[in-house]
């Protein structure tokens, strides 16, 4: 056991973030790594037991974290995303959820051996997936836009619905089995659910109005949101248990669709908090399990229940619900398979295990075991299979990671051409139709619009692109672009043209902006210089490094005015040269550079002479 609670909190944080890093580094499902880590340090080796250590604070901490995670997910639910998939999401969240509830309850009764009362409660709860497990999978799998949006919306919308179905089932059971039935409690359930929705909507509208009218300073906005989210969840949950999830979801969706300019800044902050919470909470939940629970999940009735839920109940409910929605068979197959359960299922089932046991249902004691079995099997199965299945069904983004190039000019047009030659997709974006004429004439992909506009966000699919280059003639705009998209693309994947100006004597002059993006290539080469070289006849040259022709040999052989642009690893990984990043080319790498034509002409001449001598 650990020496103190503070030490245990530190261990949980390190393990959570460490699991996320390992998953990122080795391209593993993050939720699987966290689950395995929690099991190892908890029930298997007994290093920590958060539930025991935190005592009465354990449940409130988990509940508050779930509320924040669910709110953060709902901040991404904008109605503009529903074009073409609104019908599918509505049917999955209503018809699909109802079918899954009924079939899941029947399976729990006839296969897992639960009483009807407990079966219908747990059947309602197990329709949930949730952002805690869906979001890490979507980040890892790189699905195409439509199936990714469907899974995201379902995970966030159905989370509170599942919890409410479980509450509703319990209230129905209490009403039916009562000696003197009274419908007051049922009416209270519906009234509390309506109150939760109204409360979430009102707090979302109120918070949005306060932000837009400047009644709160910028530095207090994110902290204020966290506090209001916890207030929203707690106020609704005190009226009736589990309605707090519905309330924070309503609040997040309201804020997301108000068109508030500061929401994007808060969303980045909330995403960071959400990642931390998901990492630590999942470690806490799995580490708090008893060894007896883990052993019990391998009982034949529990294994049979889990397999039927995965291979029969989920696919059948999705296929029936999506009839006539326009989804392809492959999309229905993928959505019908992917349904990992996570934190909400674990936390809410623990609550109902206690409530049902107190009500005299002895079989409720296996709810925790049943829930964990479904969580661990779905997390492992779906975590490892989503990427493979998406590729088999042609629903994953194929090919090498692409490049978004902001700014149309002679240099970016030629750069885009060179990227296509090494099978790297690219897209030139510019808000000037006149500037885009260069891209249009060059025959490279382009998009007419402002990268910072909401319209572009709605109409341009940016999923295939992992790199962003800001290469316009407006240095301030380049920095603004980079600063805006740093949280989304990562600090090592965002670049801007050099903000320095060039003097006649070759010395750099100017002040480099400290915000946004790394300098592309070298600070000695601002956009003006790059365009000048392209217009003077410089060409994009591709060179493959070998054991005989190393990078050192290449540097000695190259023309002094050559500019290293980027390299392609044998794996297909793209790396742009930048003096702010250490890029070390290795054998097998393809280096693309901007080279003067004199060098090319010399090579052509040497080749012609070589061929002539062979002919003679």
- 402-417 confidence digits (pLDDT tens): 888 888 888 888 888 8
Tell me which residue has tokens 């924070």: 248
Q: Are residues 439 and 564 in the same domain?
A: yes
Residue 143 is given by DSSP the state: B
Q: Are residues 486 and 540 located together in one domain of the fold?
A: yes
Coil, strand or helix at 545 = coil
* Residue 152, in any domain of the structure: yes
> Residue 197 is part of which domain span?
5-392
* First-to-last C-alpha distance (Å) of the chain: 84
Mean pLDDT of the chain: 79
Separation of CA 528 from chain center = 37
Last residue of a domain, one of 371, 392, 413: 392
Distances (CA, A) of 329 to 21, 337, 500: 35, 12, 54
Sign of the torsion formed by the C-alpha atoms of 553, 558, 562 and 566: negative
User: Which CATH number fits the domain that encloses residue 538?
Assistant: 3.40.50.720
379 and 486 together in one domain = no
Query: Do residues 362 and 426 both lie within one domain?
Result: no
Task: Please tell me whether residues 433 and 482 are part of one structural domain.
Answer: yes
Q: Are residues 337 and 372 in the same domain?
A: yes
Q: Name the most confidently modeled range: 107-121, 496-510, 574-588.
A: 107-121
Helix, strand and coil in the chain, % to nearest 5: 65, 10, 25
Q: Given 392, 426, 447, which residue is the final one in a domain?
A: 392
Q: How many CB atoms lie within 10 A of CB 362?
A: 10
Indicate whether 429 and 336 sit together in one domain: no
Which CATH number is 242's domain given? 1.20.1530.20
**Cα 365 from Cα 352, distance rounded (Å):** 10
Same-domain pairing of 456 and 383: no
Same domain, residue pair 61 and 147: yes
Residues 6+ apart with CB under 8 A from 607: none
Q: Which helix (H) or strand (E) holds 210?
A: helix 184-212
Same-domain check for residues 351 and 418: no
For residue 312, is it within any domain? yes
- Residue 514: burial class (beta carbons within 10 Å; 0-12, 13-18, 19+): exposed
For the whole model, what pTM was predicted? 0.66
pLDDT at 418 over 60: yes
Place of tokens 């390299």: 567
What are the pLDDT digits (tens) for 267-284? 556 666 777 887 888 888
Which among 332, 366, 392 is the end of a domain?
392
CB 320 within 8 A of CB 96: yes
Q: What is the pLDDT of residues 483-502, one digit of tens each?
A: 777 767 777 788 888 877 65
What is the side-by-side order of every strand in the sheet holding 494-496? 446-448, 426-430, 402-406, 465-470, 494-496, 518-519
Average pLDDT estimate for 223-252: 86
Clarify whether residues 467 and 572 are in a common domain: yes
Please tell me the total count of domains within the chain: 2
Whether residues 383 and 424 fall in one domain? no
| C-alpha–C-alpha distance, residues 21 and 27, integer Å | 10
User: Does residue 134 surpass a pLDDT of 80?
Assistant: no
Tell me which residue of 293, 286, 309, 283 sits closest to 122, measured CA to CA. Answer: 309
- Summarised one tens digit per residue, pLDDT across range 177-198 is 666 666 677 788 788 888 988 9
Which residues, at least 6 apart from 36, have a Cβ–Cβ distance to it below 8 Å? Answer: none
281 part of a folded domain: yes
In a domain, 397, yes or no: no
**414 phi and psi angles, rounded to 5 deg:** -70, -35
């Amino acid at each position: 056991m650990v020496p103190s609670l503070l030490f245990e909190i530190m261990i949980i944080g390190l393990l959570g973030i460490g699991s996320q890093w390992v998953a990122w580094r080795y391209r593993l499902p993050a939720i699987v790594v966290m689950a395995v880590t929690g099991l190892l340090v908890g029930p298997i080796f007994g290093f920590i037991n958060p539930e025991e250590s935190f005592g009465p604070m354990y449940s409130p901490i988990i509940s508050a974290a779930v509320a924040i995670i669910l709110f953060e997910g709902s901040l991404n639910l904008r109605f503009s995303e529903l074009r073409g998939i609104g019908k599918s999401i509505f049917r999955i969240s209503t018809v699909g959820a109802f079918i899954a509830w009924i079939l899941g309850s029947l399976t729990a009764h006839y296969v897992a051996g639960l009483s009807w009362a407990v079966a219908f409660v747990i059947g309602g709860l197990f329709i949930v997936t949730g952002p805690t497990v869906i979001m890490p999978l979507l980040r890892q799998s790189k699905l195409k836009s439509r199936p990714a949006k469907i899974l995201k919306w379902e995970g966030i919308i159905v989370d509170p619905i599942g919890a409410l179905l479980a509450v509703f089932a319990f209230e129905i059971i209490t009403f039916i089995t009562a000696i003197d039935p009274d419908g007051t409690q049922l009416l209270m359930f519906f009234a509390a659910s309506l109150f939760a929705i109204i409360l979430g909507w009102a707090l979302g509208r109120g918070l949005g109005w306060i932000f837009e009218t400047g009644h709160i300073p910028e530095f207090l906005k994110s902290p204020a949101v966290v506090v209001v989210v916890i207030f929203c969840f707690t106020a609704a949950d005190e009226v009736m248990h589990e309605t707090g999830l519905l309330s924070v979801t309503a609040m997040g969706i309201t804020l997301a669709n108000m068109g508030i300019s500061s929401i994007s800044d808060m969303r980045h902050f909330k995403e960071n908090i959400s990642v931390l919470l998901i990492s630590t909470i999942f470690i806490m939940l799995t580490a708090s399990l008893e060894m007896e629970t883990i052993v019990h999940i391998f009982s034949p009735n529990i294994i049979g229940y889990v397999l039927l839920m995965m291979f029969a109940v989920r696919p059948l409910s999705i296929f029936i619900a999506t009839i006539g929605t326009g989804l392809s068979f492959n999309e229905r197959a993928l959505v019908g398979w992917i349904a990992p359960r996570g934190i909400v299922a674990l936390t809410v089932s623990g609550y109902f295990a206690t409530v049902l046991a107190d009500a005299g249902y002895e079989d409720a004691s296996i709810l925790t075991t049943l829930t964990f079995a479904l969580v661990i099997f779905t997390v492992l199965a779906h975590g490892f299979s989503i990427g493979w299945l998406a590729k088999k069904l042609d629903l994953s983004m194929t090919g090498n990671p692409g490049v978004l190039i902001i700014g149309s000019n002679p240099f970016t047009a030629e750069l885009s051409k060179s990227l296509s030659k090494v099978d790297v997709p690219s897209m030139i974006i510019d808000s000037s139709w006149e500037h885009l004429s260069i891209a249009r004439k060059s025959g490279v992909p382009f998009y007419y619009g402002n990268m910072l506009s909401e319209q572009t966000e709605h109409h341009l699919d940016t999923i295939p692109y992992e790199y962003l280059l800001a290469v316009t003639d407006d240095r301030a705009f380049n920095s603004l672009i980079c600063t805006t998209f740093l949280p989304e693309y990562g600090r090592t994947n965002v670049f801007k043209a050099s903000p320095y100006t060039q003097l006649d004597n070759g010395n750099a002059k100017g002040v480099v902006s400290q915000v946004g993006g790394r300098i592309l290539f070298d600070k000695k080469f601002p956009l003006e210089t790059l365009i000048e070289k392209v217009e003077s006849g410089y060409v994009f040259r591709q060179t493959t490094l070998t054991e005989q022709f190393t990078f050192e040999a290449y540097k000695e052989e190259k023309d002094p005015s050559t500019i290293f642009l980027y390299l392609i690893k044998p794996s297909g990984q793209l790396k742009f040269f930048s003096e702010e990043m250490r890029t070390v080319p290795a054998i097998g790498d393809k280096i693309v550079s901007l080279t003067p034509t004199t060098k090319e002409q010399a090579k052509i001449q040497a080749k012609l002479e070589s061929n002539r001598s062979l002919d003679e």
